[in-house]
Structure 1
Amino acid sequence: MPDASISHAGPMPREAGILAFLNLCGSFYPADAVNASIEQQRQWYDALCAQFDRPLPAGMATQDAVVGAVPIRRYRPLEVATETVLLYLHGGGYVVGSLDSHHAICAELSAFCRAELVSVDYRLAPEHVWPAQSDDAFAVLSDLVGTGRPVVLIGDSAGGNLAAGLALRANAAGLAGIRGQALIYPALGGDLTSGSYREMAEAPGLSTADVGYYRDILQAPDGDAIAFPLLAETVAGLPPAFISVAHFDPLRDDGRRYAARLAEAGVEVWFREEPQMVHAWLRARHMSEGAAQGFQALCLAVARFAGTP
């Protein structure tokens, strides 16, 4: 889901760094952004992402390419210590986001893990509705696995949804080679009426009404477990998972519930709930202590999946 602005209508964190982050976001991306045109939403989001852009780590090489018809960006750090490839799926509510929106995040992950990373520029709604997004990501995943190199799936928010769905889809198709899945505040198909959807309905950064908007615009059919992984009949046999959620986020309980299901099915899972974080805290990793700790935990988990020595 997109990074939105600060709102004082709902529960609020206390950490100074994350409050400063929310105020900065609010100057670029209004709380009622979903009421604007798609073109306007994308302009606001691009400006917000540019505000949080950072120089790439020393020695980081990038290359834009195409897999089939899907644009991608490859990241290669100065030192590569594993054959495993990191596959990144960006957030943005399926409506906004691009290869540029998560550029620095991808580069820093790649550098920390000393692993090549591929970011996917999947098609966006409403121009392209479900399952275009999953199909694009699956095409890139299939291409990577076809080279014989292991893959770690990573995604934040809507990208976390796509990553979880890809793990399910690959498992059903017998596609081997996925070493792990890292899901950051993922949208997994909760009921929108209970738990954190009710408790955090007006949380800063993302509201429950926003989640409903993005679901509607995606047009995934009810009961589709790839679009709504919490509906999967079984999660047995999935790759190990790292799931991180923000306490002040309506999506929080999606991650809680999915982690519990994975554990019950015998899947190795690490779960973190960031107590002072809000949705989209990844962007705050250089201005919030809690976000920095959360990003460090994500990097360590991905490096472990990738087998970085």
Structure 2
Amino acid sequence: MTDYAKLISDEIWAFIRKTQASYPDDTASFSIEDQRRVYDAMCASFRVPHPPGVTTTDRSHAGVPCREYLCGDADVTVVYFHGGGYVVGGLESHDDVCAEICARTGYRVVSVDYRLAPEHRHPAAFEDCRNATRAIHQAHGGSIILAGDSAGANLAAATAHALRGSGVPLIGKVLIYGAFADTIGTTGSYATHAQAPLLTRDDMVFYRDIRMPEGQSTKGDPTAAPLADTDFAGLPPAFLLAAECDPLCDDSPDYASRIAAAGGRAHCEIAPGLVHGFLRARHMSPQAAAAFDRITGAIAAFGRGEFPLPEIR
């Protein structure tokens, strides 16, 4: 049994308790409508004001609702895909995160409001992300950095696989506690952290099953599970940040190693003592704040044409 009392700091326990106050551990058993209601309420409880100078515009790209963030002229665009298990979340849930990425990097950030399951099962969300990315590049030109957390990290990686060689100039991807495998394992982090706070292995089974059409598996489908791809060549460089106390922890180093084995560039870090969803803890915990610094530093480095090694600032 993993001893989270020793692994997790007091500040992250406070974050966990605040999350659970509006988003209980058994939320996956709620109706879809109630899951979205409590998730939105939970995200709202953590939301902070936009940094000064950041402006937003809501518009569609390829028919997909998006929100654009600007704090000056930008030749680099960060296309951001939110987390939420493919079931919850949207433009509001990660609004302050995207605004802070914009302010810290100076780049345009475009948050993509892809379709959600179960009303729209796979490949709807993937198609929205791929098509919106193409359209965002057509609208703004310049270079593209793909970024996302959890389900959004999966979608960012899948989009990168789908768009390589397409002419869309992908200069990097930043993937935060992502789910990349085509199976939910019973060893490694899936076993060690099967009962982790805020995300369990059983939760992952629920989100996988509700995402996919009835009778269809993620196995062998890189549009649903990027680690299922057989070709990892030609992908943009990647920076991955996983949470230690998360059943998904092993997915990030596994994905990074596949890119490196194919001759690409990938750097993966595991944030000690952090849990799934730690982005919302960035104003509560020094550990989460440091992790967010790493994320924004990596995005900024990619935009400068640099590969974000450990010394990134």
Q: Classify the TM-score, shorter chain.
A: over 0.9
Aligned-partner Cα distance in 2 for 1:202–1:277: 14
The answer on 1:61 being equivalent to 2:58 is no
Task: Look up the equivalent residue of 2:197 and give its one-letter code.
Answer: P
Q: Could you tell me which residue of structure 2 aligns to residue 164 of structure 1?
A: 157
Task: Look up the equivalent residue of 2:302 and give its one-letter code.
Answer: F
Please report how far the alpha carbon of residue 10 of structure 1 lies from its aligned counterpart in structure 2 after TM superposition.
5.4
Q: Structure 2: which 5+ runs fail to align?
A: 307-313
Please report how far the alpha carbon of residue 182 of structure 1 lies from its aligned counterpart in structure 2 after TM superposition.
0.4
Aligned-partner Cα distance in 2 for 1:142–1:304: 22
The answer on 1:188 being equivalent to 2:185 is no
Task: Look up the equivalent residue of 1:243 and give its one-letter code.
Answer: L
Please report how far the alpha carbon of residue 176 of structure 1 lies from its aligned counterpart in structure 2 after TM superposition.
3.2
DSSP-derived class of the 1:250 partner: coil
Please report how far the alpha carbon of residue 67 of structure 1 lies from its aligned counterpart in structure 2 after TM superposition.
1.6
Q: Displaced runs of 4+ in structure 1, greater than 2 A?
A: 144-148, 173-176
Contact 1:11 1:200 in 2 (8 A): no
Q: Could you tell me which residue of structure 2 aligns to residue 21 of structure 1?
A: 15
Aligned-partner Cα distance in 2 for 1:86–1:60: 14
Larger CA deviation: 116-125 vs 137-146 = 137-146
Aligned-partner Cα distance in 2 for 1:250–1:296: 23
Please report how far the alpha carbon of residue 174 of structure 1 lies from its aligned counterpart in structure 2 after TM superposition.
2.6
Aligned-partner Cα distance in 2 for 1:308–1:116: 16
Task: Look up the equivalent residue of 2:244 and give its one-letter code.
Answer: H
Give per-residue Cα distances to partners, 1:158-207, cap 9 Å, x unaligned.
Answer: 00000000010011x53330010000000102432221111110000100
Q: Could you tell me which residue of structure 2 aligns to residue 5 of structure 1?
A: none
The answer on 1:129 being equivalent to 2:129 is no
Q: Could you tell me which residue of structure 1 aligns to residue 223 of structure 2?
A: 226
Aligned-partner Cα distance in 1 for 2:304–2:89: 29
DSSP-derived class of the 2:102 partner: helix
Larger CA deviation: 159-168 vs 135-144 = 135-144
Q: Could you tell me which residue of structure 1 aligns to residue 239 of structure 2?
A: 242
Task: Look up the equivalent residue of 2:85 and give its one-letter code.
Answer: G
DSSP-derived class of the 2:230 partner: coil
The answer on 1:292 being equivalent to 2:289 is yes
Where do residues 254-273 of structure 1 align in structure 2 (5 Å cutoff)?
A: 254-273=251-270
Root-mean-square deviation (CA), in Å? 1.5
Please report how far the alpha carbon of residue 36 of structure 1 lies from its aligned counterpart in structure 2 after TM superposition.
0.7
Question: How many aligned positions are there?
Answer: 298
Aligned-partner Cα distance in 2 for 1:175–1:181: 16
| Percent of aligned pairs sharing the same letter | 42
